[in-house]
Amino acid sequence: MTKEDCKKVVLDIISDIAPDEDVSNVKPDVRLRDQLELDSMDFLDIVMELRKQHGIEVPEADYMQLASLDSSAEYLTPKFNELGK
């Protein structure tokens, strides 16, 4: 999985948990919370969906890695690849 693929995975999840948001123009290098209406519970949703849909665990200490699309991809892509995805 490439980092671009990974961003798409994260964006798909976000579009589900923030259905009122237009995610087509999310800037990858800007914090998600600065451009979308996301709160801490929503981030827990992202973590939960990664777990449910992809079997990926994000420990609490690493939540900050999900701040932006870029940082998410940086953090998650190796995890996807470890799982052989």
Partner 1 sequence: MPTPGGFDNGFDGVEFHGPTELGLRLGRIGVKGGGIASATWRDGMRHGLAGHLFDGGDDFQHGGGITRAEIVEESGAGRGELIKDGDVRAAKIVDMHVIAQAGAIGRVVVVAEYLERIAQALGGVDGEGNQVRLGIVVFTDLSIFGGSGGVEVAEGRETEAVGVRERFERVFDIELGLTVGIDRRLGHRFGDGHLGGFTVGRAGRGEDELFHARTVHATQEVQGGGDVVEIIFERIGDAFAHVGEGGEVHHELDLLFAENLPDLLFVAEIRRIEFHVLRNRLAMTIDEIVEHDGFVARSDQLTDTVTADVTGSSNNKNVHFQSVVLLSCHDWLALFLLIVMKRTRIVITGVGLTAPNGNSLQEFRQNLLDGNAGVGRMDIRYMGEQLAGICDYDALRYQKKKEVRVGTRAGSISIYCAREALADSGVDFDSVEKDRVGIYIGCTEHGNVETENEIYNISQFDYDTKYWSHYHNPRTVANNPAGETSLNLGITGPAYTIGAACAAGNMGLIHAAQMLRLGEVDFAICGGVSESIRTFGIFAGFKSQNALATHEDPNKASRPFDTDRNGIVISEGGALYTLERLEDAQARGAKIYGEIGGYHVNSDASDYVLPNPTRQAECVRKALQNAELEPSDIHIVNTHATATPLGDIQECEAIRAVFGEGCPDTSINNTKSYIGHCMGAAGALELAGNLPSFDDLTVHPTINVDNLDPKCDLPGLVLNQPRKVAKVDTILNNSFGMLGINSTLIVKRFVP
Q: Rounded to an integer, what distance in angstroms lies between the CA atom of residue 61 and that of residue 43?
A: 13
**Residues 59-78 close enough to bind partner 1 by CB under 8 A:** none
In the complex with partner 1, the residue whose CB is nearer, 56 or 73, is: 56
**Could you report how far apart the first and last alpha carbons of the chain are, in Å?**
6
Does 44 participate in binding partner 1 (rule CB under 8 A)?
Answer: yes
Does 36 participate in binding partner 1 (rule CB under 8 A)?
Answer: no
Cα dihedral 76, 65, 45, 30 in deg (nearest 10): -100
Residues found near partner 1 in the complex (CB under 8 A): 17-20, 37, 41, 44-45, 48, 51-52
